[in-house]
């Protein structure tokens, strides 16, 4: 599906409403008052009415769109574009594509979708063999750019770039990474390990107790975790089946032993600087990693990704 296919499928707001309605009805839609599961829908009000008790609720309620005044088409277009591009999209670019006068609603919409992506991936625990490493991400603290604005104008870097203070975020990176057996001649330039799911967790600190807490929440305990000799990993053996420590002082050799965490760190750094110019508020940086990991973890989904994100966005109760 391309963007022109999008406009064919969704030529107007009504087609978007119909699609949303159908998607919501395909989930386990239940009346909060009486638990009945059968509804009528009024197009004029965009509300569902319970066939048993007649209580009603809006098409948006309980979804990521709750409290949003943006059209259904704007949301679907944004979901389409965010899943369509391999790379990330800036809110400024999305604002241009949507033809909006205001930047903030677009920025909020995109962050809400990134939170949905994070919630979805949080349901999955990493399994098997896992590489773990810590990454340090430079960012320009937005609060020193414009303290009046609650939101982060991450794209407006042309004038403001460099004015904010340089900060660093610490990120724990974990990748499912299996040793490739009998690598063919054709693939000899590829890493010795193949990758599965990945996770990136923004950390307040990299002390052993904090790392253990993050690993405990995100990794199955029957795994084999591979790390370098950093002291923050010293207590991993208390919570997982096997902890292997590889101490390799030579940087390029060490990169080969941890091919996927290294790739994930360097590609996500490229995403942050290339699309968002590193002007990112600490409060929101996890969201960008959510998007990076969500798309990486579904890299073979192709066109299915759009529907998947829509379903995630309407079933994740928004709070």
Footprint of Zn ion on this chain (CB under 5 A)?
A: 31, 33-34, 36, 50, 52-53, 55
- Farthest CA pair distance, the chain: 70
Least CB distance to Zn ion at residue 26 (A): 19
Sign of CA dihedral 90, 93, 95, 101: positive
Q: Of 53 and 180, which has the nearer Cβ to Zn ion?
A: 53
Tell me the CA distances in angstroms from 71 to 12, 33, 74, 108, one per residue in order.
10, 28, 5, 14
Q: Of 14 and 37, which has the nearer Cβ to Zn ion?
A: 37
Least CB distance to Zn ion at residue 58 (A): 15
Least CB distance to Zn ion at residue 57 (A): 10
Q: Of 34 and 304, which has the nearer Cβ to Zn ion?
A: 34
Q: Of 30 and 317, which has the nearer Cβ to Zn ion?
A: 30
Least CB distance to Zn ion at residue 51 (A): 8
Tokens for 218, please give them: 């995100």
DSSP H/E element including 103: none
Q: Of 53 and 241, which has the nearer Cβ to Zn ion?
A: 53
**Calculated CA dihedral for residues 52, 55, 60, 61, nearest 10 degrees:** -110
Say if residues 245 and 227 touch (Cβ distance below 8 Å): yes
**How far apart are alpha carbons 63 and 45 in whole angstroms?**
17
Tokens for 18, please give them: 């119909």
Least CB distance to Zn ion at residue 53 (A): 3
Least CB distance to Zn ion at residue 41 (A): 14
Least CB distance to Zn ion at residue 31 (A): 3
Neighbours of 67 (CB within 10 A): 10
Q: Of 30 and 187, which has the nearer Cβ to Zn ion?
A: 30
Q: Of 62 and 164, which has the nearer Cβ to Zn ion?
A: 62
Intra-chain end-to-end CA distance of the chain, in Å:
31
Say if residues 91 and 155 touch (Cβ distance below 8 Å): yes
Q: In what order do the strands lie in the sheet with 224-227?
A: 193-203, 166-179, 129-140, 224-227, 242-245
Q: Of 36 and 84, which has the nearer Cβ to Zn ion?
A: 36
Query: Residue 259: what are its φ and ψ, rounded to 5°?
Result: -65, -35
Neighbours of 134 (CB within 10 A): 18
Least CB distance to Zn ion at residue 255 (A): 58
């Amino acid at each position: 599906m391309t963007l022109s296919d999008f406009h064919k499928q969704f030529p107007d707001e009504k087609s978007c409403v119909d699609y949303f309605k159908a998607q919501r009805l395909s989930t386990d839609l239940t009346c909060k008052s009486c638990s009945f599961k059968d509804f009528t829908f009024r197009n004029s009000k965009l509300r569902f009415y319970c066939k048993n008790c007649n209580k009603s609720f809006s098409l948006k309620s309980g979804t990521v769109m709750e409290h949003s005044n943006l059209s259904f088409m704007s949301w679907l277009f944004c979901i389409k574009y965010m899943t369509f591009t391999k790379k990330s999209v800036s809110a400024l670019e999305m604002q241009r594509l949507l033809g909006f006068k205001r930047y903030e609603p677009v920025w909020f919409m995109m962050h809400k979708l990134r939170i949905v992506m994070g919630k979805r991936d949080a349901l999955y625990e990493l399994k098997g063999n896992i590489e773990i490493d810590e990454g340090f991400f430079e960012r320009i603290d937005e609060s020193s750019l414009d303290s009046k604005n609650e939101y982060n104008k991450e794209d407006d870097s042309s004038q403001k770039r460099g004015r904010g203070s340089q900060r660093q975020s610490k990120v724990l990176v974990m990748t499912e990474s299996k040793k490739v057996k009998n690598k063919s001649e054709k693939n000899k330039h590829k890493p010795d390990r193949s990758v599965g799911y990945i996770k990136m967790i923004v950390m307040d600190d990299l002390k052993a107790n904090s790392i253990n807490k993050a690993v405990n929440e995100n990794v199955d305990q029957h795994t084999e975790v591979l790390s370098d000799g950093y002291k923050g990993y010293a207590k991993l053996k208390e919570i997982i089946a096997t902890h292997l420590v590889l101490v390799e002082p030579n940087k390029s050799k060490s990169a080969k032993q941890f091919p996927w965490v290294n790739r994930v760190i360097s590609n996500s750094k490229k995403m942050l600087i290339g699309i968002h110019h590193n002007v990112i508020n600490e409060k929101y940086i996890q969201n960008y990693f959510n998007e990076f990991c969500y798309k990486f973890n579904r890299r073979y989904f192709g066109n299915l990704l759009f529907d998947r994100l829509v379903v995630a966005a309407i079933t994740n109760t928004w709070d």
